[in-house]
Amino acid sequence: MYPLYSDCQKRYSFLRTGVIQMNKVVKYDNYMNSLNFKYFTGMDFNFLMALCNRLRNMDTAEIEISFKELKEITKYKRTSVVQFVSDLKRMNQKLMGITCNLETTSEILMFVLFPTFKINVEEQILTVSVNRDFKFILNEITRNFTRFDLQEFTELDSKYAKTMYRLLKQYRSTGLYTVSVEKFREIMDCPVCYTNKQFMQCVVNPAVKNLQSCFRNLRCETQYSHRRGNPVTGYAFTFTPEIPGNSEEGQEDNKDGKYMKAPDRYGSFHQRSYDYDALEQELLRRS
């Protein structure tokens, strides 16, 4: 969504309701970007990020979210409750198939993201909690985090654009993301049958086009090896780095100590005052 249009929407909301709706922010440890959400659809990603938003800074507490609210924030359009429940179940089943692990020199820990995922069809409420061993990803995050606007995320067209969006947001302060072709194909959940040319034509280029309004001057450069045949080795994404402002998101970055607030270039400007009656008399005298 273009910034000017978004601002107009907020102003209209204020005039209509008297309350400006704040953007919902998703913020998590960068570890989540290393996970391969295999077979996820665009709506699956919307569900997941909405839950991340609601579970943020809640430790391992169970939270309840109504079907109505979840539908609104994920832009879910279908009206059938049965279909909605089926889509929620399908998303969590895919999550349960994702290998989440933390390795140290002494142990390997494997776990699921949401040990509690209870769907109350009668009351139309979802109850969910984050895994105790995974709570670091959404709680007390002060460094190495990814942060973005949930509404902007849900408005993206495809699962590829949503995945690329999350990856680029991790590097929002530098404007540079480089990745090997093997890793990128895996994390984008690219069909195995795609050649690198098809991957670029069917996955990367459409996603970059979809993200032009989210990242200024976004470009993708294919990197090649100097070996025979010049095989593709990876990709480099560049865009204009973000400068945090006075929004809720910018204030969080300042609080975390990661960024400094953008300077007020007009702080010393003072508008001159005029005696318009005197000016009018002087103009009449000169005419």
DSSP per residue over 65-120, as a string? EEHHHHHHHHT-----HHHHHHHHHHHHHHHHTS-EEEE-SS-EEEE-S-SEEEEE
Among 60-64, 79-83, 238-242, 268-272, whose mean pLDDT is lowest? 268-272
Distance CA 257, CA 8 (A): 31
Flag whether pLDDT at 272 surpasses 70.
no
Per-residue pLDDT at 139: 87
**Residue indicated by tokens 């179940």:** 89
Mean pLDDT of 202-215: 96
Q: What does the block give as tokens for 203?
A: 């996955």
Query: How far out from the chain centre does Cα 100 lie?
Result: 20
Tracing tokens 């409750």 back to the chain, one arrives at: 81
Lowest mean pLDDT segment, chosen from 42-56, 103-117, 219-233: 103-117
User: Which amino acid, one-letter code, is at 256?
Assistant: D
CA distance 87 to 93: 10
Record the pTM. 0.75
* 138-147, 148-157, 183-192: segment of lowest average pLDDT: 138-147
CA distance 157 to 281: 62
CA atoms within 13 A on the CB side of 120: 13
Q: Where does the chain show beta strands of DSSP type E? A: 25-29, 63-66, 100-103, 108-111, 116-120, 125-129, 145-149, 176-180, 219-224, 232-238
Residue 250, pLDDT above cutoff 90:
no
CA distance 59 to 133: 11
3-state helix, strand, coil in the chain (%, to 5): 45, 15, 40
67/145 Cα distance (integer angstroms): 29
The C-alpha atoms of residue 147 and residue 137 are separated, in whole angstroms, by 12
